[in-house]
Amino acid sequence: MSSQLRAVGCRGSLVFTQNLKLTQLAKSGRIEEAIGVFHGMTNRNTVTYNSMISAYAKNGRVVEARRLFDQMPYRNLVSWNTMIAGYSHNGCVAEALQHFKMMRKEGKDPDWSTFACALSGCANLAALQVGTQLHNLLLKSGHIIDIFAGNALITMYARCGRILTARQVFDEMVSVDLVSWNSLIAGHALNGYAKAAISIFQEMKKNGVAPDEVTFIGLLSACSHAGMVDDGLELFYSMSRDYPITPVAEHYACVVDLLGRAGRLGEALKLVKGMPIKANAGIWGSLLGACRMHKNPEVANVAAEKLFEFEPHTTSNYVLLSNIHAEAGSWGEVERVRVLMKERGVWKQPARSWIEIKNEVRSFSSDDSTEPRAAEVFMVLRVLNAQMRNIGHMSDSSLLDCG
DNA sequence: ATAGGGTTAG
């Protein structure tokens, strides 16, 4: 009997060790090696499968994740949550919801984590209808009292443009934490309510909650969207002066955006050059975007050169720089960018977008001939464009070409 | 013991 137990114990500890190895490899992004370990294992338990499903999903390989999920002999709550999170984070909201319903049919009750990751997927795609369905299920399940699920709900409504509903969810929560406040602030920032975002910040402090670095990203982006340059700069300085928070790259990106939108490109460039940390592609890209808005080819060349070091093959960066020079009438510079693209083998890859219509996620691309109602779509675009011009908005030239 | 989980610029 005891030798039998020992044997089981040994086998158990071998699986444990191999699972650990698998997880470590997956965490450090060595997915191929993780696959090798998985295939080499003779004994696999539920944790083994869950680890591998998670590793696939985190690398965007949802089809392979799903194959393992279907193959595994026993699925626990973590298996379902891993699969739903994987679908959610890869933009497959319909599949995430389908699995949500499947698990309930199999008698597995979703927990806060299931709701949180499914709602987070809806937030990213602005899938309001699916999100609202999940809200209803959340109310029925009783997990509405869960702070993590509530926070995901706030973000879902905010990102779908339903800021009042987001506030209502916040107000009805049994208890809130720093992430709840941050979600509410970021939600208001996203929807252009800068003054409200700042007053929520005051409210938060009055409630004895100390801000963190995420709070300030929300506040700075709020100021940036509303053109509140001085308030934004003051908040940026107060971070390290009044709170023990050291600005990171994301904060600098917000301030560059803030100065850039206001046309203060020289100051923005000076800030990036004087940063105590290394600038990233986002920061240079933000500056380049502002250069187009305010027609500044000189700063654009500096920003683009830095940006190309990070992303030498991203077509849109070259197109942006080329457009800036074209709008300034510098055809020699336009040609220089064209030669640069040719030398570096940069070519255009068509991007795809998606939208939720009647509970179904549909994908489309620019000039999509597979879209059955393309003529109608372009007609509506022309009308909108005319209306925008009437109220003085200068349209992007690419919109004028449509239809 | 090892697996899943909410907020973060453009």
**pLDDT for A16-63, tens place per residue?**
999 999 999 999 999 999 999 999 999 999 999 999 999 999 999 999
**Does the C-beta of A321 come within 7 A of strand B?**
no
Q: For every residue of A151-208, which 3-state class applies, written as one string? A: HHHHHHHHHCCCHHHHHHHHHHCCCCCHHHHHHHHHHHHHCCCHHHHHHHHHHHHHCC
**pLDDT for A177-229, tens place per residue?**
999 999 999 999 999 999 999 999 999 999 999 999 999 999 999 999 999 99
What number is the average pLDDT over the span A237-258? 96
**Does the C-beta of A324 come within 7 A of strand B?**
no
Q: How far is the CA of A380 from the C1' of B4 (A)?
A: 44
| Full-model pTM | 0.83
- Please give the pLDDT value at position A381: 53
**Closest protein residue to B1 using CA and C1' atoms?**
A16
Are the C-beta atoms of residues A180 and A186 closer than 8 Å to each other? no
Secondary structure element (H or E) that encloses residue A360, with its range: strand A360-365
**For chain A, what is the radius of gyration of the CA atoms?**
25
**Closest protein residue to B8 using CA and C1' atoms?**
A214
- Please give the pLDDT value at position A347: 75
- Please give the pLDDT value at position A400: 37
What number is the average pLDDT over the span A266-290? 95
Residues 202-261 of A with CB under 7 A from strand B: 213-214, 217-218, 221, 224-225, 249-250, 253-254, 257
**Closest protein residue to B2 using CA and C1' atoms?**
A20
pLDDT at A403 over 70: no
**pLDDT for A304-360, tens place per residue?**
999 999 999 999 999 999 999 999 999 999 999 999 999 999 876 555 555 555 555
- Which stretch of A86-100, A110-124, A343-357 has the lowest confidence by average pLDDT? A343-357
List the domains of chain A with CATH numbers.
248-351 (1.25.40.10), 366-403 (no CATH)
Q: Which nucleotide is nearest to A15 (CA to C1')?
A: B2
Q: How far is the CA of A75 from the C1' of B4 (A)?
A: 12
Secondary structure element (H or E) that encloses residue A363, with its range: strand A360-365
**Does the C-beta of A340 come within 7 A of strand B?**
no
**A13 confidence band (pLDDT: 50, 70, 90):** confident
Q: Which nucleotide is nearest to A9 (CA to C1')?
A: B1
